[in-house]
Chains A and B, each alone.
Chain A
Amino acid sequence: MERFNKRILSLILVLVVLSLSLTSCTKKEAVYPSTPITYVLCFDPGGESDITARFQQPVLTKLLSVPIAISYITGGGGGTGWSQLTTTTPDGYTIFGTNLPHIIVQPLTGNAGYKTEQIDNIYMFESTPCILVVGQNSPIRTFDDFLKYAKAHPGMSVGGSGEPSSNSLALARLAQLSNLKLTYVSFTGSGTAITALLGGHVDALMTYTSTFIQYKDKWLPLAVATEGRLGILPDVPTFKELGYDLVEKAYRGVAVPPGTPENIRKVLEQAFEKVNQDPEVIKEMENLGFIMENYNEAQSKALVDQLTPYYTQLLETTKKP
């Protein structure tokens, strides 16, 4: 009996090893794509990147006629995944979700394991602008109240998600423009920043429009960091109209490893462009507070080039002692 079990087990082991080695050598075909594509997300399932990818997945599968498998390489605020992106085989069968300003800011603040130029963004498809909110029961009712409160309470706490992140940079910029002492309290993990405001543990929250939409009955928006007012939030003033030059959003897109052939990049760029035109995807995404963006490869590169000096300077001038 013992011998019999041993044989079965070794057989299973051999089969597993064989199947593993087979999968790694079948992706050498002329027509792209001919085998499943792995869509790697660098943040935990359930977050904004995941929700977006899940909406895209069925449409992409139809457009490219191959299965799209979503997998996760998480940690280091996305950095672990992006440093692996730079060493992945550039055959178009592994694509990575990317985020701005993360891929600009992380290499600026330390050894991130990748350089901004190594991330070849094929398409940036959505963004979530920063929005400053307070609880419904807060004494603060308007952005003007917020300024007064901050003056009376130097170091008032404003929560946000991650650091350095779009939220933390938006608050740093606001503190700089208004000459106020604001304390950014970074929260990690899903939900903790939300409970911090719901439970009244922080005075205000710098968050994303997609988060605010979920709590619009409980929170009061003060100002949104966009160029103009948003269609889904027509009553919320922009920082710009209030006299503060603060535009800050987290962009999400997709990138391929450096050295990916031109024809593959074009196929992917067009596929993601078409996904963004799908009325069902647009409707679902906008309902959840996402802003659709349409930056193709060249425009994405221009966007990164345009934002890099801004963030470099912002990080330089708001550096903590």
Chain B
Amino acid sequence: MYVDLDTIKLLWPELVLVLLATWIYIGGTIQQGRWWWGLFALAAYGVSGHAVAVGIVEANTVSGPLTPDSLGYVVRFTAIVLGALFTLVLTASARKELASETIATLMLLICGVMLVGRANDLVFLFVSLELVSIPTYVLLYLGRRDRATSEATVKYFFLSVLSSAVLLYGLTMLYGVAGTTTLVGPGSIQSELQSLSVDAGGLGSLTPVALVLIIAGLGFKMAAVPFHFYAPDVYQGATNANAGLLAVVPKVAGVIALIRVAVIAMPNVAEFAWHVTLVLALVTMTIGNVCALWQQNLRRLMAYSSIAHAGYMLIGVAVAMAMEASGGISGTLFYLLVYAFGSLGMFAALASLGSDEQEVSRLEQLSGLARSRPFVAGAIAVCMFSLAGIPPLAGFWGKFTLFTGAVRVATDSGGQATSVWFAVLAVGGAINAAIAAVYYLRVVAVMYFQPSREANFGTNVGARVVMLFAAVLVVALGIFPRSIFNATEHAESSALREKVAAQTIQRLEAIATSQQVP
């Protein structure tokens, strides 16, 4: 029997989520009410998280489409925490009759992110990414039923499908070149491509094409250039809670998929890959930061901020491509976590201010918030400072690691041209951080230095809890970044270990065959 007990055990954390999400879909038709199902979903995340934690202790030797490395564990824990937090926000802000569907769809989405984190196979990876995309369309659609939301949903849907198709087209080329769908391990894409020269002609010359298509396709999920332009329109049309979801969860999936495919599994085009990624990083963060400067709509502002942060994450990806074991993957992961909680805190704060009649969407609605709602203003300020990268908050350590990674490649790499490129990247990143500070600080200035306005803000308890949690976490990570650094560094070395092992085996085989010849 192919599906045996071990397979179920291995997939148990994800299976729990899918089963209980189905239960919520069915049960929601009988038992209505938000908190009933919200608490049920929180319990489900608890069970799933416990199952992941137990899975670490057990010896994970099973290979195949699932990878047991600790990069997967970091992603899965992050996904579960994000899922629980977004459940709180969405439970309190979704319409009552749609609350159960919203919560269950979110669970499927989180399950998709968890599966992306441990995918070691092209089929598995693509299906997991679709498990992230399709629930996102449904969630956007469930948020509101007005003109703006329906337009945002249509725009997001068609661009997302196009980007999935571009990614798939890239994966076909990768499959054609390597002749297998496994990413890392013996007889995998990674070991096949290791010895394949791009210039030799034949199928190998398709690898750069595959790489460009894959980066473009995953760039949509990260909101990176060239598929970035949807973000401002879609965030503006979505509810605050959904915009937060779009800004955080697909980005996690996109970055991890990019690391798994483009960084780890495609070693023969690394030279070309870091050139492409580096240019995209520079363009993405500059476009994001410069366009954010004159935005008055808060969700548009955060959309351009999300684009800019995708650019920063690409710095880490470029570093990881240019130099092995350079801390690039670890820095990107750390930045991803920091960005996720900073952005989540901001959107949760906006959601907590909204009521059924009125939603907070324009910057001037926040004026004088420090006097009318001091806690919310404080949380927003903490998140803004962290996203701007001001010490001692978590965002500072994120940017610090990424920029030092770029500087390390610039100083340590052999080639003159490489040094110049990465020096430009580090300087570009620093200039961008300065530009970004302008619009983040403008939000803080509006809250603290402008006269208070009469506004009937809502009291969304779930969103307020999440906002405070995110703000506290951002401060705590800023003061004690070491624990998370240890986790991400371990994730990087464990993700690269399979690759190093495969290279060693290949080298030994080469020696063995050369000795047999005489």
Q: Do A and B bind each other?
A: no
Residues of B near any A CB (own CB < 8 A): none
